[in-house]
Chains A and B, each alone.
Chain A
Amino acid sequence: MKNVTLSTSSTNPASSGTAISIRDLSISYGDFEAIKDVNLEIEAGSVTALVGPSGCGKSSFLHALNRLTDLVPTCRVAGSVCFGEGEAIYGRGIDVLALRRKVGMVFQKPNPFPQSIRRNFEIPLREHGVPKKEVSGIIEQCLRDVGLWEEVRDRLDRSAMKLSGGQQQRLCIARALALDPKVILFDEPCSALDPITSSVVEDHIAALRERVTVVIVTHNLAQARRISDRIAVFWIRDGVGTIVEKGVTAEVFANPQDASARCYLEGVCG
């Protein structure tokens, strides 16, 4: 495993992750119900993996956590999602932009802005009111956190699109980190990368433990086993996605209670 350096600020208790409490969450797109009555408690600072076959609503679930579901006009979310001391994020008067600063997201296909590396950080930082003089320092710190600093320090003003796939994805992680979030959501972050790059990115995700709360959707069961503390298995029941098994990763893999979950975790189906 590669040696991963953590920034010294990670020892600052003020920037540790936040707990998430999901109750009776249901998501539908028009007439299509994606998930129904999902309950999950996510511990602060933990790494939680969401696994299951395609189409079970894992991504929808993830997108509901930072209200990215608001981008889809036909999407309806019912139930509650609460962060920290019971702060619900669905409701009137919620500042969604502030929410998304605290809850970052890294997508399946790396999506850096087609501008310079520096601009990729500047735009979100300035949008959230971070003073100009702090920006460079944050850029360096976050790029170090993902092991990119030495690779790109001389080309910060060149286009981010010229980076390799793995570098772009690490850039996206660094960009999300720059906003000092309490939670980072990962939507199959390694599935578009080759195995070697994949393991580099995976190590950086694992190193985020304690500093932020990590929720990661993954198709790679071995990956889930390696890096997650807790796991939730999604499955389709009665035509709708839901969680069929959840708990501490080691226990769930050793002794799955639900039949479909066992079938999936043993690689027999799904």
Chain B
Amino acid sequence: MCRLRIDWLVRHLLGVLAVVAGGLVVVVIFSLLQGAWPAINSGLLGHFFSDPNWQPGSVRDPQYGLVPMLAGSFLVTVAAALIATPLGVAGAVFHHFYAPRQIAKWNLRAMELLAGMPAVVLGFWGLTVVVPAIARIEPPGQSLLAAALVLALMILPIIALTTQAALAAVPLSQVQAAAGLGIGRAGTILKIALPMARRGIGAGVLLALARAIGETLVVVMLCGNIAQIPGSLFDPIRPVTSTIALEMGYATASHKSLLYAAGLILVLVVGLLVGWLSFRKNLDHDAVN
């Protein structure tokens, strides 16, 4: 009798835990909405897209244009992806098809190490090495380029590891078929393995993009923190994440609610990316079945 009682308890306890875990995101979004409500209510949100600059604290000429920062987020993410994708894919191809076993093992370890590297450490290194190097070419050094380079380093393991897994998933029968037809390594990679790994690589890139858009530390340390649409790679920028991180500390009430709204926009964008990703995965699943 006691056993059944315990069984009932365990079942319901676990159920409660599951509901809390699943419902947490609802609490988060609700909380954000609550914080953003004053901004939404007062119609300030429209200013996100109509005002040219971001000067919410200014008394004389308060402006709430989010566009420069959205541009900053977008540009640094795309730039990082453009750097990281070829490096990651090429590195994975080398790891899977060319590297001798010992080197491949260490390569994998190194990639996993890089994947676990805290963003703050990467940002710190960027500050001490990358920024001065760029400053030598064109001051001030803290710029779109600096942030993009280190951000690329941060997201590269995601792309490399997913590409590596996608290449490993190419069935041996295909590699044998190609070999049996006298197709060399380069031909096998370009015409058979990479096309088959396309979906996996795409998923990795999407994941990397989602990670990059949401990244705060690396960009706040390296981007120069000037909310503007950059004219060149060497100009400072300020992505949305940096704005929230920097201004949260001293923002006044209405300013703060704008930051909450910006946060919600971030959640929306990343949520869409990740949603697209799982949509693709479900498509794959149905296609296979």
Contact = CB atoms under 8 A, between A and B. Distances in A.
A and B touch in the complex (CB under 8 A): yes
Interface of A: 66, 68, 71, 73, 96-101, 104-105, 107, 109, 111-115, 123-124, 127-128, 172, 175-176, 179
B177 A98 contact: no
Contacts of A115: 195
Interface string B189-226: 00110011000000000000000000000000000000
A99 B180 contact: no
A28 to B, nearest CB: 19
A112 B187 CA distance: 16
B177 A71 contact: no
Contact of B182 (A99, A113, A172): A99
Given A115-B195, A123-B187, A123-B191, A179 B181 contact: yes
B251 interface: no
Interface stretch (B14-22, B135-143, B155-163, B168-176): B168-176
B184 interface: yes
Nearest to B173: A111
A66 B192 CA distance: 20
A98 B182 contact: yes
A12 B176 CA distance: 30
Contacts of B176: 68, 71, 107, 111
Nearest to B175: A71
Contacts of B180: 66, 68, 100, 104-105, 107, 176
B182 A100 contact: yes
30 contacts: A68-B180, A71-B175, A71-B179, A97-B183, A100-B180, A101-B182, A104-B180, A104-B181, A107-B177, A107-B180, A109-B173, A111-B177, A112-B177, A113-B174, A113-B177, A113-B192, A114-B174, A123-B191, A123-B192, A124-B178, A124-B181, A124-B182, A127-B182, A127-B183, A127-B184, A127-B187, A127-B191, A176-B180, A179-B181, A179-B182
A111 B174 contact: yes
A128 B181 CA distance: 9
Please indicate which of the listed interface residues B171, B177, B192 has the most CB atoms of chain A within 10 Å of its own CB. B177
Interface of B: 101, 171, 173-184, 187, 191-192, 195-196
Given A71-B175, A71-B176, A114 B196 contact: yes
Please indicate which of the listed interface residues A66, A68, A96, A127 has the most CB atoms of chain B within 10 Å of its own CB. A127
Given A66-B180, A127-B187, A176-B180, 17 more contacts: A68-B176, A71-B175, A73-B101, A97-B183, A97-B184, A98-B182, A100-B181, A104-B180, A104-B181, A105-B180, A107-B176, A109-B173, A113-B177, A113-B192, A123-B183, A123-B191, A124-B181
B181 A175 contact: yes
Contacts of B183: 97, 123-124, 127
Nearest to B101: A73
Please indicate which of the listed interface residues A96, A97, A101, A179 has the most CB atoms of chain B within 10 Å of its own CB. A97
Contacts of B184: 97, 127
A13 B285 CA distance: 51
8 tightest A-B CB contacts, nearest first: A100-B182, A105-B180, A111-B173, A124-B181, A101-B182, A111-B177, A97-B182, A127-B187
Nearest to B191: A123
A193 to B, nearest CB: 15
Nearest to A115: B195
A111 B171 CA distance: 9
A68 B172 CA distance: 12
B193 to A, nearest CB: 11
Contacts of A124: 178, 181-183
Contacts of B182: 96-101, 124, 127-128, 179
B166 to A, nearest CB: 13
A128 B175 CA distance: 17
A21 B179 CA distance: 22
A107 B179 CA distance: 12
A172 B195 CA distance: 19
A3 to B, nearest CB: 29
A66 B177 CA distance: 12
A115 B174 CA distance: 11
Nearest to A119: B191
A68 B182 CA distance: 10
B243 to A, nearest CB: 46
Contacts of A99: 182
